Amino acid sequence: MNYARRAEAHGTWLETHFDWQIRTFWRALLWIAITLLVGGLLTLIVIGIFIVIAGFCIVGLWVAYRVIRGWVALREHRAMPRPAVTQAPGP
């Protein structure tokens, strides 16, 4: 949904909220995949299930933090921070 509606917010402070939500989704998906991969491999020695449970809890808390932070900023009509863009050193 964010990809479909992002163009409507282009150039406004709301654009940062769309980017924030998109980054939250993809990073959470990445960490869930990593958790499942590592936990799945370690399931052979029983500790994997604990890794998966802990990983899901950590990712869930992180997502909750990002959602709450986004809602607070949205209610206060503030833009969300954007990641710093680093440039390669020149010649």
Residue 75, pLDDT > 90, answer: yes
Residue 55 · residue 42 · CB < 8 Å = no
Note the pLDDT tens digit of each residue in 17-65.
888 888 999 999 999 999 999 988 888 888 888 999 999 999 999 999 9
Radius of gyration of the chain (CA): 17
The pLDDT of residue 45 is 81
The pLDDT of residue 2 is 76
Residue 72, pLDDT > 60, answer: yes
Residue 87, pLDDT > 80, answer: no
How many Cα neighbours within 13 Å face the side chain of 55?
Answer: 19
